[in-house]
Amino acid sequence: MARPSLGSSLEDGLYRRLIPLLRRRGWRPTTITYTGFGTTDRLRVLARVLLKEDDGDPTAADVGATERELTEAQDAERGWRSFLTTPVAYLPVVVEIGDLAHRGRVNRGGYLDLLVPDHGLQPGWHDITVRARGARPVTARVLVIGPETRFGVISDIDDTVMVTRVPRPLVAAWNTFVRHTSTRQPVPGMAELFRRVQAARPDAPVLYLSTGAWNVVPALERFFRRSDLPAGPMLMTDWGPTNTGWFRSGQEHKRTTLRRLLIDFPEISWLLVGDDGQHDPEIYAELAREHPDRVAAVAIRQLTPSEHVLSHGTPQAMDGGRDQHDGDRLTEGRRVPFVEAGDGEALWEHLAPHLT
């Protein structure tokens, strides 16, 4: 077992002192579910258990408010509220799928990442139940990807489908912690790009891979609905300390997750969508070189000069190490389409010949 770092030790000590105090004040475990996904053989269930103030029956709250009003109120919250959380560590959890119960336990950060075999669900969207000890049962959405699926989409979020300028530390802090979530804007044409991709490949799932924190997933899901972006599992990171240091590596998170998806879905070739603000071209090109038969194409949204300055300090794109061959990348004798444009509409013009 890895020796805890100073950061994780301090964090654990803080929560050990804080949780009894909050419990005495009536706070109780609350489960937040994330969109799960998997195959007809295995399902990955994602959730987190936090300690929150007990506000009674949630169905009785905000009596007289419409669903739209409640959504607008949630969207108006400043981002920092999503990070004032107290996780409940190592709590037992039961995942109910039909008549079957699958048992698991959250980790030290309160996260559940449970792999459920033989779940019995058919391809498509389903609702399952997650019951954490001491918390109310909640419903989780899961996407089962069928064995006949041969094409899928993996997309970045920040500055790819949503204008956030997150990589620059000071701007990231402002956008994440201070600005209201309702002020975030979609990247022009990206929702239409995904609709056209799914029209060309009707069974294509869309998964989102980001270095952003799990804390912002509820706000992102509301943003996606408002912006007409397709629903899909979001694979995020925990910004807290680990056993090896104060912060996790965003690049390593993306590399590791991409390779796990190749293993979990061995029959699928992926369209990789990102932006040139930081390391997406480099990471995607690396995967295309290693697995050219598993990368159907790479689509990179080009940031404007001002967005590049905010992203990494210079008005030019970072060098992704890409050898250009008429818009394609040559990987061991096989061309992987590699297209770049400033918005979703222009990206589709370059992608369409490769997907239709």
Residue 189: pLDDT band with limits 50, 70, 90: very high
Choices 3.50.50.60, 2.60.40.10, 2.40.50.100, 3.40.640.10: CATH for 26-144: 2.60.40.10
pLDDT at 64: 42
pLDDT at 14: 53
Predicted confidence (pLDDT) at residue 313 exceeds the cutoff of 80: no
Helix (H, G, I), strand (E, B) or coil at 114: strand
**What distance in Å separates the CA atoms of residue 143 and residue 122, rounded to the nearest whole number?**
10
Tens digit of each residue's pLDDT (9 = 90 or more) over 201-256: 999 999 999 988 898 898 899 999 999 999 999 999 885 544 444 455 678 999 99
DSSP 233: -
**What distance in Å separates the CA atoms of residue 120 and residue 104, rounded to the nearest whole number?**
18
Average pLDDT over residues 261-271: 98
Predicted confidence (pLDDT) at residue 192 exceeds the cutoff of 50: yes
Q: Which fold has domain 151-355?
A: Rossmann fold (3.40.50)
What residue ranges do the domains of the chain occupy? 26-144, 151-355
Tens digit of each residue's pLDDT (9 = 90 or more) over 67-104: 444 344 444 444 444 445 688 889 999 999 999 999 99
Rounded to an integer, what is the distance from CA 186 to the centroid of its chain? 16
Name which of 162, 157, 332, 110 is nearest 254 in CA terms: 157
Say what percent of the chain tops pLDDT 70.
67
Q: How many residues does the chain have?
A: 356
DSSP 59: G
CB proximity list for 85: less than 8 A, separation 6 or greater: 50, 215
DSSP 174: I
